[in-house]
Amino acid sequence: MTKINRAFNFSPGPSMLPAPVIKRLQNELLDWNGSGMSVMEISHRSNEFSHVINKSKQLLRELLNIPNNYHILFSHGGASMQFSALPLNLSSPQKIANYIITGQWGLKAEKEARRFSQTKIIANTMNEYRIPTQEELLIDSDASYVHYTPNETILGLEFPYIPDTGNTPLIADVSSNILSKPMEVEKFDVLYACAQKNIGIAGLAVIIVREDLLNQHQAHTPSLLEWQHLSDTNSLSNTMPTFAWYVLLCSLEWLKELGGVSVIEKKNRKNAELLYQCIDQSDFYHSTVSDTAHRSQMNIPFTLKNSELDVLFLEQAKQANLTNLKGHATVGGMRASMYNSMPLEGIMTLIEFMQNFAKKYGK
């Protein structure tokens, strides 16, 4: 086999996998646990695969400290499928669901919910590149739930607090920051996340739902979107994306071996601090989020003083093995997404590249 030169991949998702995880996938690909079969070729209902299911649930519960009265469900379709599932499970055309908007993902969730419920945007600060204060959240007293996106990947905005919604269920799309730091699960009613950012590859979603919120679905909910049904069938109603589930398990085992969420949090915070420092200390680069308390630790958008250099920056970055740094079209410039899998070495390489680039073209 030729020598592999793995890139530091700053993609917002699907994101890079931890090096030990991707190597394990390769090693086990043809013959999983001595079965003579790949894990992709194993029945989702087999004894062999039930280990993947049980272990992944157990590790999620342990790593995130999920209380026992929360069910852990797995679903097809990523977070966007839950944009539909949420109002189907917790609202109705007669009820109103509240949405807090701090970026494109929250906006998408709200738009999809209109197919199944009335909705109301109770705060929208995305155009101001900031997080609303608790006082700005004017929650309807009869809202079926309040939905928000703790970390918005495109604008790079992250909530520094958990909204207090009183008795109204609080729902969070934690796709981009699940397991990046400790979470107080008991302060939420439902958490959901796609797998392809912090916990594996695309095709799978995890839903963490408090027991008493199951079984409130609308009659025309597709079975595979009905949380009660997923719970009743141990998320095995039909053939699940078994390989993605196994990658999730490998990612969780890797995280546990590292020392868990508190250890990865330190690494993630360090990575983010270093990159924001590099941006803020330079007059060549500019952070698009001015309030430092609202800045994301996972996704860091920044612009170049002279946007005509964007193409050159991306070209040279790629040559330096730093890939997928192009910012989202709505923000422009660059974006470095740095999930659990991004090592310190990747950030150091990026910063060195950025400093050299600024020196060369910053006149």
d(CA 308, CA 58): 50
Compose the 31-70 pattern: x for residues touching a copy of itself by CB under 8 A, - for all others: x---xxxx-xxxxx--------------------------
The answer to whether residue 78 forms part of the interface with a copy of itself (CB under 8 A) is yes
Which of 47, 127, 166, 219 forms a contact with a copy of itself (CB under 8 A)?
219
At a CB cut-off of 8 Å and minimum separation 6, what does 254 contact?
A: 18, 20, 21
Instruction: Tell me the number of residues near a copy of itself by CB under 8 A.
Output: 69
Which of 143, 178, 214, 240 forms a contact with a copy of itself (CB under 8 A)?
240
Identified catalytic residue from 57, 197, 267, 326: 197
The DSSP secondary structure of 66-115, one letter per residue, reads: --TTEEEEEEESHHHHHHHHHHHHH--TTSEEEEEESSHHHHHHHHHHTT
Nearer to a copy of itself, 36 or 166 (CB): 36
Q: Is 23 in the active site?
A: no
The DSSP secondary structure of 236-303, one letter per residue, reads: -SS---HHHHHHHHHHHHHHHHHT-HHHHHHHHHHHHHHHHHHHHT-SSEEES---GGGB-SSEEEEE
The answer to whether residue 98 forms part of the interface with a copy of itself (CB under 8 A) is no
Residue type, 80: S
Which of 174, 191, 194, 338 forms a contact with a copy of itself (CB under 8 A)?
194
The answer to whether residue 153 forms part of the interface with a copy of itself (CB under 8 A) is no
Residue type, 115: R
From the list 132-140, 143-151, 156-164, 193-201, the region that binds a copy of itself by CB under 8 A is 193-201
End-to-end CA distance of the chain: 45
Q: Is 105 in the active site?
A: yes
d(CA 300, CA 272): 8
Q: Is 173 in the active site?
A: yes
**Contacts with a copy of itself, residue ranges (CB under 8 A):** 1, 4-7, 9, 11-17, 22-23, 25-27, 29-31, 35-38, 40-44, 76-81, 83-85, 88, 112, 115-116, 194, 196, 201-204, 218-225, 237-244, 247, 321, 323-324
The residues assigned a catalytic role are 105, 173, 197
